[in-house]
Amino acid sequence: MAYIEVIEHENATDDLKDIYDNLVKTRGKLADVHTIQSLNPKSIVNHMDLYMTIMFGKSPLKRVQREMMAVVVSKANDCEYCQMHHAEAVNHYWKDDAKTNQLKENYLELELSETDAQLCAFAKELTINPNHGNKKSVESLKKLGLSDRAILDATLVISYFNFVNRIVLGLGLAVNEDELKGYEYD
């Protein structure tokens, strides 16, 4: 149960109803992370614009890499809600429950490509130590052949999920197992 008032879809009116209806139409369903912002409908629209740009927009990073970093950030922040949601997205691509569960537990024990392992390390490091060692992490990513644009996009993903994790944790969103299925991932 959220710590603040939430206007559910069936009680929404005017702009909020239109926003909710559009999310259902375009994303497949309405997530609790959207409804938690119901008292400020414009924030939902701006949030989704940012999310769609960072997670679905054109990028040198693959969608699965972005989702993978989302899980690592959310694990570092102990945000079960985002871990579950974005692990579901990772598994859409990996189609391997055991591997996906291991990503949630400890990505270091996975056999990932060197690039994916470094992206995960960068996600964790920037989350837990935002002011330490970033130049070295960026240099490591460049040595692997990642472009500056790819590194920017990785940083945006990491920063975005730190932001969202704080909304979820700060306002008391709990994992709702029924909410995990039915999203559009591609």
Q: DSSP characters for 116-166?
A: HHHHHHHHHHHHH-TTSSHHHHHHHHHHTT--HHHHHHHHHHHHHHHHHHH
Task: Read off the pLDDT of each residue in 6-14 and give the average, rounded to a whole number.
Answer: 97
Q: Are 76 and 120 in contact (CB under 8 A)?
A: no
pLDDT at position 175 = 80
Q: Which residues contact 56 (CB under 8 A, 6 or more apart)?
A: 63
Question: Among candidates 82, 137, 128, 127, which has minimal Cα distance to 104?
Answer: 82
pLDDT at position 132 = 81
pLDDT at position 169 = 97
pLDDT at position 174 = 85
Task: Read off the pLDDT of each residue in 177-182 and give the average, rounded to a whole number.
Answer: 61
Question: Among candidates 33, 62, 43, 80, which has minimal Cα distance to 175?
Answer: 80
| Cα distance between the two ends of the chain | 30
pLDDT at position 185 = 57
> What's the CATH number of domain 63-170, 1.20.1290.10, 3.40.50.12780, 3.40.605.10, 3.40.50.10490?
1.20.1290.10
Task: Read off the pLDDT of each residue in 95-101 and give the average, rounded to a whole number.
Answer: 95
Residue 49 has pLDDT above 60, yes or no: yes
Residue 122 has pLDDT above 80, yes or no: yes
Question: What is the reported pTM?
Answer: 0.92
In terms of residues, how long is the chain?
Answer: 186
Reported as a single tens digit per residue, the pLDDT across 52-71 is: 999 999 999 999 999 999 99
User: Two tokens at 183?
Assistant: 């999203």
Q: Are 4 and 36 in contact (CB under 8 A)?
A: yes
Structural domain boundaries in the chain: 9-57, 63-170
pLDDT averaged over the chain?
A: 93
pLDDT band at residue 168 using 50, 70 and 90 as cut-offs: very high
Residue 83 has pLDDT above 90, yes or no: yes
d(CA 137, CA 133): 6
Residue 27 has pLDDT above 90, yes or no: no
| Choice between 183 and 109, residue whose per-residue pLDDT is larger | 109
